[in-house]
């Protein structure tokens, strides 16, 4: 196997190791559990409320949306945030100083973030199967829609997350990034049908991949009748795949350029300068 191929394998191992770290570090695990518990709690709370205009449980609808949100949120905010933090703390520079290290680093990040997403999705589906009624988990059509939506969602959001991570200058601005993505969640019809938002916000929301992801997972997991509350009273699979596909193409064009620029600028002194700046901000 050539050196690049071995770096891809090393990257996959790196991703697996970091995934294990995330699930064996008490702090990380507690954060994850609390975050998931709050969301599940909210959904259980609204289990008996119905989606407006239907007899269907709002909690179940939210859970279906949340699967899509998990992909989008982790792909954008988590990956982007990790990149800004690891640029600042010198992880990226170490990768640059290692032969084919950047390849390994990026493969590792994709594996870690995808793995986290996969685990969260499976956990949410299991919770959904036991705590909520109305999810169409038994039919083949569900999985034939769900799996392509999740895969395309990863392809659409991971490169975009890398772009965001390259654009935000410091780890301190990573919080801003999370905030921005949370704002996006709010206008993407994840927790409440988008049709109840003002018209211009509906349009804004539909441009971004999070809406498509939520719509896609809802279409896979909810009964066909629920399409009536969506825009155009349809699951609009073509539009969903069109929007996600467009973001995928854009991401794969722009991300390598930006990542290369970020990598080129890394050096011992640039990391030292950021460290000093961060220390001053902590002290000040």
Partner 1 sequence: MSVLNLSGVLSPRGARPVPAEPAGELVLDVRDLRMRYGRNDVLSGVSFTARRGEVLALLGPNGAGKTTTIEILEGFRMRSAGQVSVLGTDPARGGEAWRARIGVVLQSWRDHAKWQVRELLEHLGSYYAPYSGSGGRPPGTSRAAPGLPRPWDVDDLIATVGLTEQAGQRVRRLSGGQRRRLDVAIGIVGRPELLFLDEPTAGFDPEARREFHDLVHRLADREEATILLTTHDLDEAEKLADRILILAGGTIIADGSADELSQRMSTQAEVRWSRDGQRYVHSAEEPTRFVRDLFRQYGESVEDLEVRRASLEDTYMALVRQAETGPGLADDTTIRKFSVVAG
Nearest approach in angstroms of CB 138 to partner 1 is 39
Q: Minimum CB separation from partner 1 for residue 2, in Å?
A: 7
Minimum distance, C-beta of residue 23 to partner 1, in the bound complex (Å): 11
Nearer to partner 1, 12 or 254 (CB): 12
Asked whether the beta carbons of 53 and 192 are under 8 A apart, the reply is no
- CA neighbours within 13 Å on the CB side: how many for 125? 20
Q: Is 168 exposed, middle or buried (0-12, 13-18, 19+ CB in 10 A)?
A: buried
Q: In the beta sheet, which residues pair with residue 57?
A: 50
User: Is the CB of 13 or the CB of 172 nearer to partner 1?
Assistant: 13
Q: Which is nearer to partner 1, 87 or 218 (CB)?
A: 87
Q: Minimum distance from CB of 269 to partner 1 (Å)?
A: 5
Please choose, from the candidates 99, 79, 95, the residue with its C-alpha nearest in 3D space to the C-alpha of residue 271: 95
Report the 3 state secondary structure along 11-71: HHHHHHHHHHHHHHCHHHHHHHHHHHHHHHHHHHHCCCCECCCCCCEHHHHHHHHHHHHHH
Distance CA 21, CA 26 (A): 9
When the beta carbons of 98 and 173 are compared against partner 1, the nearer one is 98
Q: How far is the CB of 268 from partner 1 (least distance, A)?
A: 6
What's the min distance (Å) between Cβ of 34 and partner 1?
19
Residue number, 238 or 283, with CB nearest to partner 1: 283
Binding site for partner 1 (CB under 8 A): 1-4, 6-7, 10, 13-14, 17-18, 21, 25, 86, 89-91, 93-94, 96-101, 104, 266-269, 271-272, 275
Of 102 and 213, the one with the shorter C-beta distance to partner 1 is 102
- How far is C-alpha 124 from the geometric centre of its chain's CA atoms? 15
Q: What are phi and psi of 170, to 5 degrees?
A: -145, 165
Q: Residue 83 Cβ, how far from partner 1 at the closest point, in Å?
A: 13
* Residue 48 φ then ψ, to 5°: -90, -15
Q: Which residue, 48 or 269, has its beta carbon nearer to partner 1? A: 269
CB-hemisphere CA count at 13 Å for 145? 27
């Amino acid at each position: 196997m050539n050196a690049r191929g071995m770096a891809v394998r090393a990257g996959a191992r790196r991703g697996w190791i970091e995934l294990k770290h995330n699930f064996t570090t008490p702090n990380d695990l507690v954060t994850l559990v609390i975050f998931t518990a709050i969301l599940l709690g909210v959904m259980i709370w609204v289990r008996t409320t119905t989606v407006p205009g239907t007899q269907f449980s709002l909690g179940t609808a939210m859970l279906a949306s949340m699967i899509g949100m998990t992909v989008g949120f982790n792909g954008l905010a988590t990956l982007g945030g990790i990149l800004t933090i690891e640029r600042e703390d010198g992880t990226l520079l170490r990768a640059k100083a290692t032969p084919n290290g950047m390849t390994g680093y990026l493969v590792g990040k994709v594996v870690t973030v995808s793995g986290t997403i996969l685990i969260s999705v499976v956990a949410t589906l299991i919770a959904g199967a036991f705590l909520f009624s109305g999810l169409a988990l038994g039919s083949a059509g569900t999985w034939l829609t769900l799996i392509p939506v999740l895969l395309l969602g990863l392809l659409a959001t991971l490169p975009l997350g890398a772009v965001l991570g390259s654009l935000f200058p410091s780890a301190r601005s990573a919080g801003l990034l999370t905030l921005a993505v949370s704002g996006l969640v709010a206008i993407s019809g994840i927790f409440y049908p988008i049709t109840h938002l003002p018209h211009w916000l509906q349009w804004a929301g539909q441009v971004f991949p999070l809406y498509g992801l939520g719509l896609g997972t809802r279409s896979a997991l909810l009964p066909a009748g629920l399409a009536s509350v969506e825009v155009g009273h349809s699951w609009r699979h073509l539009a969903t795949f069109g929007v996600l596909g467009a973001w995928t193409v854009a991401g794969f064009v722009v991300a390598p350029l930006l990542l290369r620029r970020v990598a080129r600028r890394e050096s011992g002194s640039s990391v030292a300068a950021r460290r000093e700046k961060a220390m001053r901000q902590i002290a000040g």
